[in-house]
Structure 1
């Protein structure tokens, strides 16, 4: 055993004689964001709230699962400090020495493999899945029960269940990669964007709406459309701007606000990048074209 992981998990310390620790935590609204010197797999067992991870805030609900590598700053919090807003998280934390023994379990060069073994080289610093079919719920409950009761051989059962969990994480990744390139929900996504483009919508908002992880949604969207979500949203907004510039006399700043842009400097730069002219020039060019057409 390579030293004690001296970290408080809920009201318990990681047992220095064990490689795996399981707890069931009723999260507090006042818990501080923190980092770990071990790997953690967390599962939302009950309730809803938010996961503050690195510089992002992710809405969470029952069934959300996160794989959190060493050094990733995070905290789970309920949606409100009121006691009626509960958030229960199951945590499985384990020493990274175990991973050195299990490299053959995960496929090399996969994202799951890299997030375990080379987290600092990954563009995305964690994994996030939605357990729609309760694949992990039963595993976490069994692990927690084994950890509490500590019947004969419980540590072997914990290792076996953790290995099973790692394999299932890999299957989740493969299943996501095998989804058809056409992205069956694309029409719904496009409709959602066109109905909400005036709002401050983000990749996470859309991914949550369609029960996908943000990283998986972005991969599917780019693969299907050839554009990132941000590029597509900008195109929709600028197209609407063009329509309003041509068909109305609404001031340019109001048009920008209507389509979701409050920063006028950014809006003007983006509009010029997309169209090659400023909004004012675009409106003038269209009016000149209309005047010529009328004169003919």
Structure 2
């Protein structure tokens, strides 16, 4: 496990709000120094790749990965590449959800922060589910319609139960945090894929470009990101396709080609595997401006 020697620098404390959530595209952290706060934090990277330090461990975080940060844990985000990344940050205090649900000593939904599993990876379908929950929270938090605080608590509780079950499920593959060593070569590969997802790539091509053996590349990529090469590339492509389908009037075939799929049938199959809907049904359900 790689330790960050510079992590033991000045540390700042921030008073957490009862509940706060934001989704932003950034190229640097709004909190450049290492810090801690008296709230639970859920960090979710929508797109891009960053390095995140929690206590004395370093994590390579790519799109679709979630970090759980307990109360008073020291942490810091570092963007080695300098490229834009999109993240969702949710911070809340225990008292925000206390009282609304009956107490149960045999089940503490916040215990997911105590399981020494900071980093969680999800399937494409799970990512879509989580991002929709976050979008609902952000809408409620921003617009504050009648009863918004109660709905925020309900949505947060739903998310926490999902995380708890994800960690507890026998089907969940145990992801070894010891494998998440900051590997700059893998970071460079991830950054390259994030910027060139619309082009055709093979394991052999990437291995040759970055002077790494195919077998070592496959293992290192999975160990470092939690995803296989194909899983990661498809997730990046489908995330961009979702934006194009909901925010533009492009034909589905043109969207498929623009995000790097040479075959429309293959695009449709991968899109449905990841989102649970066909491209057309996804557009109908999520269109930002149907009149456009």
Which one scores higher on RCO, CA 8 angstroms, separation ≥ 6? 2
TM-score, normalised to structure 2's length? 0.49
**Max Rg structure:** 1
TM superposition score normalised by structure 1:
0.49
